[in-house]
Amino acid sequence: MTEYVDAGRAVGQASLSGLAGIAPPVVQDVTYERILQARSEPQNWLTYYGTYDGQRYSPLDQINTENVKRLAPAWVFQSGSAGLHAGPSTYSFEAAPIVVDGIMFVSGWDGFVWAIDGRTGQELWRYKHAIPYDTSLCCGNVNRGVAVAKGKVFVVTLNAHVIALDATNGELVWDVTYGDVRAGESATVAPLVVKDMVVVGSSGGEFGVRGHLDAFELDTGRHVWRCYTVPKPGERGSETWPDGPAWTRGGGNCWVTGTFDPELNLMYWGTGNPAPDFDGGIREGDNLYTDSVIAVDPDNGEIRWHYQYNPHDLWDYDSTMEHILFELDGRKLLAHFDKNGYFFVLDRTNGELVRVSPFVDRITWGEIDPNGKVTPKIYPEKEGEEVHFWPGPAGGKEWTHAAYSPRTQLCYVPVQDVGASVTRRRREFKESIPYWGASVTVDSDDMAGSVSAFDPSNGNEVWRWRNDVPMCGSVLATGGDLVFAGEPTGEFNAFDARTGELLWQFQTGCGHHSSPTTYSIDGRQYLAVPLGWGAWVEGFLPGMLGAPHGDALFAFALPQE
């Protein structure tokens, strides 16, 4: 028998790419103290929303209402991927790029993390987590971004690990499993660094799991605490669940990053829908703490107060979306645009309702009066009987984020005006099997969208830029009095923050479903926006299910002379 030719040893695929392999040690000095003061270094985007207050506002003002018409692409990063990956038909590029001293850290679908030169777009290093093809994904193969601190990049994986990478070379430092893929748990949230911990939430409410938040030590990955969002019998809030197993499958996942007030030492995390989404008959009661904001003590994971936006949700109105922290007349408040179509302002010291008003035109599911009293009107009540309501399960606004400008004192929100038909179909619970309790068809015509500006001091709409499809990308506000928002049809837009006038537009070739960020290097301001249309399109815009996925990240800047 002849000897085999020696094929050697398999090598990392990244070594067959043009990447540099190494990034400067910019994250070494990113401390909790620096993240606390993130607004004082506007050249960087240090944490998911830019700052702990969730405003998605940057004071950078080189690009302004006068010169924005000259904005042009500076570079484009393209990823793509070889071979099959999980959720091939539903992957999407949804992350918010983090930038530290000129180096960008961003995550993609299917376990990708990249370090990119923020000036040139060159790939510096790449990490790729191996994701099981058969992971339960209700809403696509997506990841919303990384957190950075103390020399490390933190990211969650679709199979519910939280990992820490060395920020200079992308090598794994620690890897901890915090969710059960066999139970239908997964993870897509951008982690939040608070003090010496990294805090993450779980996904999987659509599979009847029990939602939780977890904190891990930055240095070691040691588990510090877990906070369940559905109480078990005997715990506070358990009286809002019926006797029996409903609480064990209650949902309430925190799959969008929370905000943090260091003075009050409280984090504000939104919680997802109860499970099953639409069949309330088997979970009578308010179903705490689903569809709520929970104010969580970061030191021990205890819930200090809560406010429930949708008691006994029958419409899949997760309330996971951002809670923007702002001050008004010396009062510490938070603003939240809920999927149910209402704009809430709460006192963030105690959860007291300050005001509530609608932010989308068509709301038929029910009504919330100025005192916060919720009156359901249309919901899937009878087995097999179809009902139609607005907003549909994607909500008046999906997970993508609103912004707040301290200069204009306005909130800017991407609005989805789309309804759905829902028929209750009771089903038996089985672990890892989708647990919705209904058949759902989202409207694919007669829909609209807008970027709308709201005054949180009175709940009034100040301006609206109308679109004929829902707006499904996060909004960014800047010190140049600009508001940026991408369209599902690929346009990236800049609006005048005071009037809503469209000042600039660039066709990127793919729908926007991510969170643009801004940064500057050597005095040149850039706007970074990941492009990738996908994920739960059937839920928020089925009329565009046939649009291309895309996998590029654009950086824009003013031309250099």
Partner 1 sequence: MRPMATAEDLSALVSKLGLDKQNKATLGRLIAHGNLGYAEEGADGRMHAQIRIPPDELVWDPAILVLPHGGDLDLEIFNDDQNTHCALFPSNGDSQFIWLPIHSRGTAALNLGGPGYYWYSSPIGNDEGRGLIGAIVVLGDVPQQARLDRPDQPRP
Catalytic site positions: 316
What's 139's DSSP letter?
Answer: S
**Closer of 85 and 549 to partner 1 (Cβ):** 85
Minimum distance, C-beta of residue 436 to partner 1, in the bound complex (Å):
16
Minimum distance, C-beta of residue 317 to Cu ion, in the bound complex (Å):
8
> Using CB distances below 5 to 8 A depending on partner kind, what does residue 180 bind out of Cu ion, partner 1, none?
partner 1
CA atoms within 13 A on the CB side of 11: 7
Residue 314 CA to residue 276 CA, distance in Å, equals 9
Residue 378 CA to residue 171 CA, distance in Å, equals 52
Binding map of partner 1 across residues 467-496, x = CB under 8 A, - = no contact: ------------------------------
> Contact 485/397 with Cβ under 8 angstroms?
no
Q: Contact region for partner 1 (CB under 8 A) — 129-137, 291-299, 391-399, 513-521?
A: 129-137
Cis peptide before 49 (omega within 30 of 0): no
Residue 479 CA to residue 52 CA, distance in Å, equals 18
**Closer of 158 and 471 to partner 1 (Cβ):** 158
Q: What is residue 26's three-state secondary structure?
A: helix
Q: Which of 370, 430, 505, 548: binder of partner 1 (CB under 8 A)?
A: 430
Q: Which of 8, 234, 330, 559: binder of partner 1 (CB under 8 A)?
A: 8
> Contact 113/131 with Cβ under 8 angstroms?
no
Check residue 427 for interaction with partner 1 (CB under 8 A): no
Minimum distance, C-beta of residue 246 to partner 1, in the bound complex (Å):
11
Region 266-295 residues binding Cu ion, contact defined as CB under 5 A: 273
> Contact 243/282 with Cβ under 8 angstroms?
no
> Using CB distances below 5 to 8 A depending on partner kind, what does residue 373 bind out of partner 1, Cu ion, none?
none
Q: Which of 93, 174, 178, 343: binder of partner 1 (CB under 8 A)?
A: 178
**Closer of 173 and 353 to partner 1 (Cβ):** 173
98, 99, 155, 176, 198 from 163: Cα distances, Å: 17, 19, 6, 6, 10
Q: SS3 letters for 242-306?
A: CCCHHHHHCECCCCCCCEEECCCCEEEEECCCECCCCCHHHCCCCCCCCCEEEEECCCCCCEEEE
Q: Which of 28, 364, 432, 457: binder of partner 1 (CB under 8 A)?
A: 432
**Closer of 398 and 417 to Cu ion (Cβ):** 398
Q: Contact region for partner 1 (CB under 8 A) — 28-36, 188-196, 245-253, 527-535?
A: 245-253
Q: Which of 18, 33, 80, 130: binder of partner 1 (CB under 8 A)?
A: 130
**Closer of 182 and 373 to partner 1 (Cβ):** 182
**Closer of 185 and 318 to Cu ion (Cβ):** 318
Q: Which of 172, 328, 502, 545: binder of partner 1 (CB under 8 A)?
A: 172
CA atoms within 13 A on the CB side of 471: 27
> Using CB distances below 5 to 8 A depending on partner kind, what does residue 318 bind out of Cu ion, partner 1, none?
Cu ion
Q: Which of 431, 461, 491, 496: binder of partner 1 (CB under 8 A)?
A: 431
CB count within 10 Å of CB 134 equals 10
**Closer of 30 and 209 to partner 1 (Cβ):** 209
17, 76, 139, 336, 508 from 550: Cα distances, Å: 20, 12, 17, 30, 9
Minimum distance, C-beta of residue 423 to Cu ion, in the bound complex (Å):
17
Check residue 228 for interaction with partner 1 (CB under 8 A): yes
Region 45-84 residues binding partner 1, contact defined as CB under 8 A: 82-84
> Contact 384/349 with Cβ under 8 angstroms?
no
Residue 114 CA to residue 530 CA, distance in Å, equals 12
**Amino acid at position 436, single letter:** W
Minimum distance, C-beta of residue 142 to partner 1, in the bound complex (Å):
18
- The b/e string for 221-253 (b: 16+ C-beta within 10 A; e otherwise) is beebbebbbbbeeeeebeebbeeeebbbbbbbb
Q: Contact region for Cu ion (CB under 5 A) — 228-236, 314-322, 498-506, 543-551?
A: 314-322
Check residue 296 for interaction with partner 1 (CB under 8 A): no
Region 99-128 residues binding partner 1, contact defined as CB under 8 A: 126-128
Among candidate residues 112, 73, 75, the one with its CA nearest the CA of residue 93: 112
Check residue 316 for interaction with Cu ion (CB under 5 A): yes
> Using CB distances below 5 to 8 A depending on partner kind, what does residue 312 bind out of Cu ion, partner 1, none?
none
Check residue 371 for interaction with partner 1 (CB under 8 A): no
Check residue 1 for interaction with partner 1 (CB under 8 A): no
Region 315-334 residues binding partner 1, contact defined as CB under 8 A: none
CA-based diameter of the chain, in Å? Answer: 87
Check residue 318 for interaction with Cu ion (CB under 5 A): yes
Return residues touching Cu ion (CB under 5 A): 273, 316, 318
Return residues touching partner 1 (CB under 8 A): 2, 4-16, 82-85, 126-135, 157, 159-161, 171-172, 175, 177-183, 185, 208-210, 212, 223, 228, 232, 245, 248-249, 428-433
